[in-house]
Amino acid sequence: MRLDKFLCEMNIGSRSQVKSYVKQGLVTVNDVIAKAADVKIDEFHDTVIYKGKPLKYQRYHYYMLNKPQGVVCATQDNVSRTVLELLPKELRKNLFPVGRLDKDTEGLLLLTDDGDLAHRLLSPAKHVDKTYLLQIAAPLSSADCRALETGVDIGEDTLTRPAKVEILGEKNCLLTIHEGKFHQVKRMLKAVGNEVTALKRVSFGGLHLDETLNSGAYRELTDSEVKLLHEK
């Protein structure tokens, strides 16, 4: 792989930017200052260092975002701020959100450029778990919980798949679903005569929201987290 392509894929900068970095002597390959940006390297075995930082080749990139309210799950939008705009420009290349959270919903969102993984995680056949923390207008009765855990009519051809309800307080609960229908959680609560007043996703596909991430903050997934998602 060409050195400049490698640096671009590592989100160091644009093609013109990384060429400039090489000219400035900021990049070494196997402890030797790179003389040209188009030199060929072995991306898996050569040691490339930029500004003293070793770069480990990644074909794909994975980020956990604690999505705040008021931003939309899109790569671009003419009206609202998007989730990608919460990341620096140099990290956004080819990234997209895996699935959607409503504009007023917050919490765990996966951003990646790995299309195959996203397809698998969103496939209806996979039944990937998604857990939400809900604030609701009224307490859930035992009958409400049984209905949600059995399946409710939200206006689709079939009932929702069985969910899991965990009561946390009078007007707080965790709801785990295995589908991704439009406004599904809100529609499920409406089906039992209730209303969601606040919604936050706390886990997705076995990935749990990092409690140290402030609203709007992000971090790269760990190797073990990436492996966990690929096992789905």
- Catalytic annotation, residues: 102
Residue pair 101/201 in contact (Cβ under 8 Å)? The answer is yes
Residue pair 87/230 in contact (Cβ under 8 Å)? The answer is no
Dmax of the chain from CA atoms?
71
Between CA 174 and CA 102 the distance in angstroms is 17
In terms of C-beta distances under 8 Å and separation of at least 24 residues, what long-range contacts does 217-223 make, across chains too? 217/65, 217/66, 218/63, 218/64, 218/65, 218/66, 218/86, 218/87, 218/111, 219/63, 219/64, 220/61, 220/62, 220/63, 220/64, 221/62, 221/63, 221/64
